[in-house]
Structure 1
Amino acid sequence: MIRVVIAEDQQMLRGAFASLLKFETDIEVLAEASDGKQAWEAIQKHQPDVCVLDIEMPLISGLELAELIRRANLPCKIMIVTTFARPGYLKKAIDAQVDGYLLKDEPIDFLIESIRKVMKGERVVSTDLAATLFMKEENPLSEREIEMLRLTKIGMTTDDISKALYLTKGTVRNYLSSAIQKLEAESRQQAVQIADEKGWL
């Protein structure tokens, strides 16, 4: 019996996954979670064979959860499901050593077969997702601009960054402004999001 925990913040989709998996005689759904925190608690409590994780969830994302599972040396297989075919996300999933990375619009039979395959030690990636690996864009940002966006991502203000790096506020603003222009973003927060999704931070 393959024991599974499902983490998906969309209730309808989570319910559909769980209901369809319950029809399989060799798969048992141990728990369903609507956010990353619930999922982490369920994974520690039930010690499943396979975790099916949505990539974007409240509190803890699927990728952050994958890293937590790996750091805790839990033996469960990790499958990420996503609506996004983004190279940055796939790179992070590979870095987190996930066993499966599937698009949500795959047929349910593909998900079920993928659960069985990862249990046998295989790695499964949706074809459309695998293709994004070969669509890597050249990173237009300088090292300094990347550094500014990383610090912005963790919540640092222009003032904080200037003090931490011994730069003037004007210099920090110039680097951030340059990064925003290169990424065709409307704000520093949007620039952080774009760079992060592309795997440049």
Structure 2
Amino acid sequence: MFRQGLRTLLEAAQHIEILGEASDGQESLKGIEKYQPDIAILDIAMPGLSGIEVAKRLPKIAPGTKTMILTMHGDTFFAVEALRANVQGFMLKEESIDHLVQGIRKVAAGEVVVSPSLEKAVFKELQNNQNKKTGAAASSILTPRETEILQLVAEGMTNQEIADLLFISPATVDTHRKNLMTKLDIHSVAGLVKHAIRHKIVTL
């Protein structure tokens, strides 16, 4: 029933086309391989294969398909595991349809999206894991543009200099910097520089 209602709501949104739907993990894999969608929306709990297991298999059968988990399971653990499995979006079913559509559009644009109620805890957990292990996890949730901004900030460039180099506005640069700080739970430029050096985004 939820799936049918979701389909109806998404079909009403502009520029979103539903190619198919599935009732379990195996059926999801077959449909994704057949239709090669831009985005596959999966649940954590699906018969046969979980959404995370499906996501892990997509690079081989649908390398161009991005993945979003839409679930009632609001545990940080599941969100972290999903992002580790290269899932680009993790949203809760309690989100409004407007927030969900916005999240879908962001994932389609290459961003990583997590429900606001989980975002800070998830990115903090990724950073903790990063510090304990190799440091790759938290940086992996940055978009290519955010990584580029982080590198330039760490190199000492101002917002205006970065804007001129990348042909974007200083306000857009500032937004990226704020997103970096939120995702990495870092609250100063000096902290961003240390993070970039520690994880070899820039070198001394």
Alignment of 1:88-103 (within 5 A): 88-103=77-92
Q: Deviations over 1:82-101 (max 9, x none)?
A: 11122221221111111110
Aligned partners of 2:114, 2:59: CA distance in 1, in Å? 19
Aligned 8 A contact 1:100 1:123 in 2: yes
2:44 aligned partner: 55
- 1:42 CA drift (Å): 0.4
Alignment of 1:69-84 (within 5 A): 69-72=58-61, 74-84=63-73
Do the aligned partners of residues 74 and 132 (structure 1) sit closer, same or farther apart at CA in structure 2, a change above 3 Å counting? same
TM-score, reference length from structure 2: 0.58
Structure 1 unmatched runs, 5+: 1-11, 137-201
More strand by percentage? 1
**One of 97, 105, 108 as aligned partner of 2:97:** 108
Aligned partners of 2:80, 2:13: CA distance in 1, in Å? 32
Specify the SS of the correspondent of 1:33. coil
Q: Which runs of 4+ in 1 moved over 2 A?
A: 70-73, 131-136
What residue identity is the alignment partner of 2:53?
E
**One of 22, 37, 43 as aligned partner of 1:33:** 22
Aligned partners of 1:58, 1:25: CA distance in 2, in Å? 31
Aligned partners of 2:14, 2:115: CA distance in 1, in Å? 25
2:55 aligned partner: 66
Q: Deviations over 1:158-184 (max 9, x none)?
A: xxxxxxxxxxxxxxxxxxxxxxxxxxx
Aligned 8 A contact 2:33 2:62 in 1: no
Structure 2 unmatched runs, 5+: 127-204
Identity %: 40
- 1:64 CA drift (Å): 0.2
* Structural RMSD (CA): 1.9
Aligned partners of 2:60, 2:114: CA distance in 1, in Å? 23
More helix by percentage? 2
Aligned partners of 2:62, 2:105: CA distance in 1, in Å? 21
- Corresponding pairs, count: 126
Aligned 8 A contact 1:79 1:98 in 2: yes
What residue identity is the alignment partner of 1:13?
F
TM-score, reference length from structure 1: 0.58
1:126 aligned partner: 115
Aligned 8 A contact 2:36 2:62 in 1: no
Aligned partners of 1:24, 1:36: CA distance in 2, in Å? 26
What residue identity is the alignment partner of 2:89?
G
Aligned partners of 2:10, 2:53: CA distance in 1, in Å? 25
Aligned partners of 1:38, 1:108: CA distance in 2, in Å? 25
Give the number of the structure whose alpha-carbon radius of gyration is greater: 1
